[in-house]
Amino acid sequence: MSNVGIVIVSHSANVASGTAEMVRQMVGDEVPLAYCGGDPDGGLGTSVEAIMQAIDAAWSDSGIAILVDLGGAETNSEMAIEMQPSERRGKIVICNAPIVEGAVMAATEASGGAPLEDVKRTAEELSPA
């Protein structure tokens, strides 16, 4: 069974790529990883299409944990999940966690072969109660 995949969605292309770089340096290639950030014109924003491509790039039958930075990224991630084939929808979760720390912790948990629920829980333990 493959490890849970991680998708990073930020309004900033630099934040998304920098977070992915930190994840790679911490966990190597043990975890399927993809990221997207910025709008198609190079400004701040997110794109449902780019999120769907990132989900495809990081796809794992064990599931996908998405880390987002701001509300618009979460809304567009929810739309991207809704547009997935029905057999995939239940295997994708959005983690309510800080994007950088959450991505690193989620990937660390996933690299050990943890199931999707554990990956999400580990990331969300970082959020204030």
The residue with greater pLDDT, 99 or 1, is: 99
Which are the contacts of 8, defined by CB distance < 8 A and separation ≥ 6?
Answer: 16, 19, 20, 23, 33, 34, 35, 36, 37, 54, 66, 67, 99, 103
Active site residue 54: no
Distance CA(49)–CA(40), nearest Å, equals 10
**23-50 pLDDT per residue, tens:** 999 999 999 999 999 988 889 999 999 9
For residue 8, give the amino acid letter.
Answer: I
Mean pLDDT of 92-96: 97
With the CA atoms of 122, 106, 67 and 49 taken in that order, what torsion angle do they form, in degrees rounded to the nearest 10? -140
Q: What percent of the chain has pLDDT over 90?
A: 92
pTM for the structure as a whole: 0.96
Give the mean pLDDT of the chain.
95
Per-residue pLDDT at 128 exceeds 70 = no
Per-residue pLDDT at 126 exceeds 90 = no
The one catalytic residue in 7, 8, 9, 11 is 11
Mean pLDDT of 58-73: 96
**DSSP string spanning 62-113?**
T-EEEEESSHHHHHHHHHHHHTS-HHHHTTEEEE-S-HHHHHHHHHHHHHTT
Task: Give me the domains of the chain, ranges plus CATH numbers.
Answer: 5-124 (3.40.50.510)
Backbone angles phi, psi at 126, to 5 degrees: -80, -20
